[in-house]
């Protein structure tokens, strides 16, 4: 007799990471419910993460074995200018979810964090590196991590990732915006001094689902293996999509005048993930961009 996969819940399934996880769970025949809030979709349940009663009702109805929570206010500059608005989702909403889960006999949480928990002076960072956020977004991510470690220490996985890219309906991530602007003949200013580890979203989803299936608990970095600055990454995107790289102008972060401070020497190390993952290989940028180009137009 074929066993039925346990039900899952994806909170924030209208975004890049959530949609990818939802798609894979559905493809595997899992019973899964996805939620949305700021970007409604007909196949997703509306959920205000800060509504304690609504969160409790949904958890009782779905009874998920695993709750994936990529839901967040991820706009770093918006959060810097509007810290209370960011806090409501990134911390208060997460606390609501954790408190309800901690009072239940089952259900584990998979939470997504960032290399913005670091100051960017000595990246790339391992899981045991000392945190030191320099932006409000980074401070809220630290608060989220600590909430989970306090309330769900043995029933959670905290996934730190960064520079996530791939096709998405809302076309908000760095690579997609760059492609759109270059195709429109616009010039794009890109920082030459912000270093990170670009991560292809489908690859991230595969790795996270494998780690969840293996029952991993704790903190883990899941990113691509290449350490590069945004300007170099932008050139790689242009090359992969046969776009004119002359439209990309390299500038310093200070020239961009961004409200929130960036961890300049950021990025994450993945030795731990490599030692655990058995089926998923984290893709280098060139290979990942090739797959991204091949999949263009197949839906987001």
Report in angstroms the alpha-carbon separations of 259 from 24, 78, 116, 178, 188. 36, 8, 14, 21, 18
Q: Which of 116, 125, 137, 165 is catalytic?
A: 137
Q: Is the peptide bond before 124 cis (omega within 30 degrees of 0)?
A: yes
DSSP string, 193-250: S-EE--EEHHHHHHHHHHHHHTT--EEEE---S--EEHHHHHHHHHHHTT--GGGEEE
The backbone torsions φ and ψ at residue 37, rounded to the nearest 5 degrees and listed phi first, read -145, -70
- The answer to whether residues 170 and 117 touch, using CB atoms and an 8 Å cutoff, is no
By the 10 Å C-beta count (0-12 exposed, 13-18 middle, 19+ buried), 41 is classed as middle
Query: Which residue shows structure tokens 């913005």?
Result: 116
How far apart are the C-alpha atoms of 220 and 288, rounded to whole Å?
Answer: 21
Concerning whether 137 is annotated as a catalytic residue, the answer is yes
**CB count in 10 Å sphere of residue 116:** 28
- The answer to whether residues 119 and 132 touch, using CB atoms and an 8 Å cutoff, is yes
The backbone torsions φ and ψ at residue 150, rounded to the nearest 5 degrees and listed phi first, read -80, -45
CA nearest neighbour of 68 among 140, 125, 16, 118: 16
Sign of CA dihedral 292, 211, 103, 147: negative
Active site residues per annotation: 137
């Amino acid at each position: 007799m074929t066993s039925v996969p346990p039900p899952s819940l994806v909170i924030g399934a209208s975004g890049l990471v959530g949609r990818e996880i939802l798609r894979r769970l559905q493809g595997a025949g899992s019973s899964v419910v996805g939620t949305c809030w700021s970007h409604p979709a007909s196949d997703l349940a509306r959920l205000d993460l800060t509504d304690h009663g609504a969160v409790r009702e949904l958890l009782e109805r779905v009874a998920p074995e695993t709750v994936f929570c990529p839901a967040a206010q991820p706009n770093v500059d918006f959060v810097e200018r509007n810290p209370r608005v960011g806090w409501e989702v990134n911390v208060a909403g997460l606390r609501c979810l954790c408190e309800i889960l901690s009072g239940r006999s089952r259900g584990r949480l998979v939470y997504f964090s960032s290399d913005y928990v670091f100051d960017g002076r000595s990246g790339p960072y391992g899981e045991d590196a000392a945190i030191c956020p320099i932006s409000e977004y980074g401070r809220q991510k630290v608060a989220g991590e600590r909430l989970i470690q306090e309330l769900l220490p043995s029933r959670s996985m905290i996934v730190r990732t960064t520079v996530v890219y791939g096709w998405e309906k809302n076309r908000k991530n760095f690579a997609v915006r760059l492609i759109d602007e270059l195709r429109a003949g616009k010039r794009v200013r890109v920082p030459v001094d912000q270093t990170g580890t670009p991560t292809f979203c489908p690859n991230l989803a595969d790795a996270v689902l494998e780690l969840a299936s293996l029952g991993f608990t704790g903190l883990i970095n899941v990113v691509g293996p290449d350490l590069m600055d945004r300007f170099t990454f932008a050139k790689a995107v242009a090359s992969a999509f046969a776009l004119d790289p002359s439209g990309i102008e390299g500038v310093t972060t200070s020239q961009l005048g961004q409200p929130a401070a960036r961890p300049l020497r950021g990025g994450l190390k993945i030795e731990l993930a490599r030692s655990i993952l058995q089926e998923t290989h984290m893709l280098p940028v060139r290979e990942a961009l090739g797959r991204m180009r091949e999949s263009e137009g197949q839906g987001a």
